[in-house]
Amino acid sequence: MGAQHYPPPWFSVAPMMDWTDNHYRTLARLISKKAWLYTEMIAAETIVYQTGNLDRFLAYGPEQHPIVLQIGGNKLENLAKATQLATPYGYDEINLNCGCPSPKVAGHGCFGVRLMLDPKFVAEAMSVIAANTNVPVSVKCRIGVDDHDSYNELCDFIYEVSSHSPTRHFIIHSRKALLNGISPADNRKIPPLKYEYYYALLRDFPDLQFTINGGITSIEEVNAARTEGAHGVMLGRAAYGNPWQILGLVDSAVYGAPLRSITRRQVLEQYQVYGDSVLKIYGPRPTVREVVKPLLGLFHAEPRNVVWKRAVDAAFRHCTTIKSLFEETLGEIPDEVLDAPITEVPSGSTDTFIKAKSLLPPPYTVNEEELLYA
C-alpha cells in the first residue's frame, strides 16, 4: 500500500529514541487512526549487523500504518543495505536523521545533525536509500549547526539535497543544534525556535513538502501552523507526555473526522491485551515496566494522576502481567476520568506563526558556483 492510500501527513508524531517504540505506537494508534507515526531512530549498522534478529528492530503491527522508519548512519553501503533489509516490513516512508545532536550520535564521525555540514553526502545517502526502496524518502534536520546557522546555509542544504536526490519532504526541527557538549535535552530547549526559517522555506522551495517541528504543544497550535500554510506539523514531547489530549483530538480537529467516541478505559482494555501478548517475547524483554511506560502520560493533569503513578511504580516490583498491574492500580483513577469521552478542542488561538511570517528572512538565491566549490 502506498502513501497515497493514507491520510496526508498533516499531523505526525516525531521519532523519539526509547520513546516511540512499538508499545507507544500501539497506544498512539488506539487513540488516533490518522496520525503518522515515526519509529525511534534505528542505526543502519544495527539493522545490518542484526540480520538474524530483524523482527525485534523492524516488526510492527499492521494497524500502525501510516508509519515511517527513521534510520541513522554515515556509511552509504550500510544505509543501502539497511533500507533493503527494511523493505519487506512495508514502511510507508524512509526518513534519514540529520538532526540528532547526541554526542553518542553526532560525536562519532558524521552522523545525526553533523550530516547537515555535508549536504553532498546527504544527497548521496538519500539517493542510495531511494534506490533501495519503492516508498518516498525524507530528511529530518535542524535549521543549522553551531555558527552555520544563517538562513542561506539552511537553503543551500535543502537545495543541494533536493536537487541531487529524490528527496521531496523535509521535516524541519526549527532550532539549530549546538555541538558544544550540552545534553540532547538542552539541545531541544536552549537554541531558540525560529519558525520564520520554516515559513521562508515554504516560500523559497514551493515544489517541496515541509513539516514543521519543535516546541508545538497543543492542537490549537497545530491548526494555527497549518492555517499559516504549514504542509504538516510534527509533535514530539507533547504527543508523548499528553497522548490523550493531543492524539485524541487529531482525527477530528486536524483531519475533520467525527469526534471518536472512545474512552481511556476502552483504550486500556485493548492495550492490556496487546501488552500481555508481548511480554518477554525476547527473553526477559519487554518487561512490564517497558510496556507500561507509554501509559504514564495518559492521565496528564487529571485528578489522582500522581497517586496512580506512585501506585504503578510500587506495582512494578511484583506484578508480572499488565492485567494484574491494571487491577491493582486503576482503582486510583476516578471512573468519571476513565469513562470520559474525548472532549472538543478548547477554543483559543495563537499568533506565534503569524508573527513568524512577519519576520521572514530575505528570499534565497542559489549561488551554484559557490556550492560547487564549497
Ligand X SMILES: Cc1cc2nc3c(=O)[nH]c(=O)nc-3n(C[C@H](O)[C@H](O)[C@H](O)COP(=O)(O)O)c2cc1C
| Residues in contact with ligand X by the rule CB under 6 A | 14-17, 19, 40-41, 70, 97, 99-100, 140, 173, 188, 213-216, 235-238
| Distance of closest approach, residue 18 Cβ to ligand X, in angstroms | 6
φ, ψ (nearest 5 deg) of residue 336: -65, -25
Q: Which residues of 149-166 are buried (b: 16+ CB within 10 A; e: fewer)?
A: bebebbbbbbbbbbeebe
Give the three cell numbers for residue 279.
511480554
| Distance of closest approach, residue 237 Cβ to ligand X, in angstroms | 4
Coil, helix or strand at residue 43? strand
**143, 278, 324, 334 from 281: Cα distances, Å:** 40, 6, 18, 33
Angle at 109 between CA 107 and CA 112, to 5 degrees: 65
Coil, helix or strand at residue 70? strand
| Distance of closest approach, residue 356 Cβ to ligand X, in angstroms | 15
**Packing angle, helices 119-131 and 151-163, rounded to 10:** 30
| Distance of closest approach, residue 186 Cβ to ligand X, in angstroms | 11
| Distance of closest approach, residue 196 Cβ to ligand X, in angstroms | 17
Nearer to ligand X, 12 or 252 (CB): 12
Task: Give helix then strand counts, H and E, for the chain.
Answer: 18, 9
| Distance of closest approach, residue 338 Cβ to ligand X, in angstroms | 27
Nearer to ligand X, 237 or 323 (CB): 237
**120, 162, 367 from 373: Cα distances, Å:** 11, 18, 10
Decide: 205 and 183 in contact? Cβ < 8 Å: no
Of all helices (H) and strands (E), which one includes residue 333?
none
Nearer to ligand X, 301 or 372 (CB): 301
Separation of alpha carbons 36 and 210, rounded Å? 14
Separation of alpha carbons 60 and 57, rounded Å? 9
φ, ψ (nearest 5 deg) of residue 138: -145, 165
Decide: 187 and 178 in contact? Cβ < 8 Å: yes
- Is 98 an annotated catalytic residue? no
Decide: 236 and 14 in contact? Cβ < 8 Å: yes
Active-site residue among 100, 141, 155, 319?
100
| Distance of closest approach, residue 212 Cβ to ligand X, in angstroms | 10
| Distance of closest approach, residue 232 Cβ to ligand X, in angstroms | 13
Decide: 296 and 264 in contact? Cβ < 8 Å: no
Nearer to ligand X, 175 or 357 (CB): 175
Closest residue to ligand X using C-beta atoms: 236
Terminal C-alpha separation, the chain: 40
Catalytic residues: 100
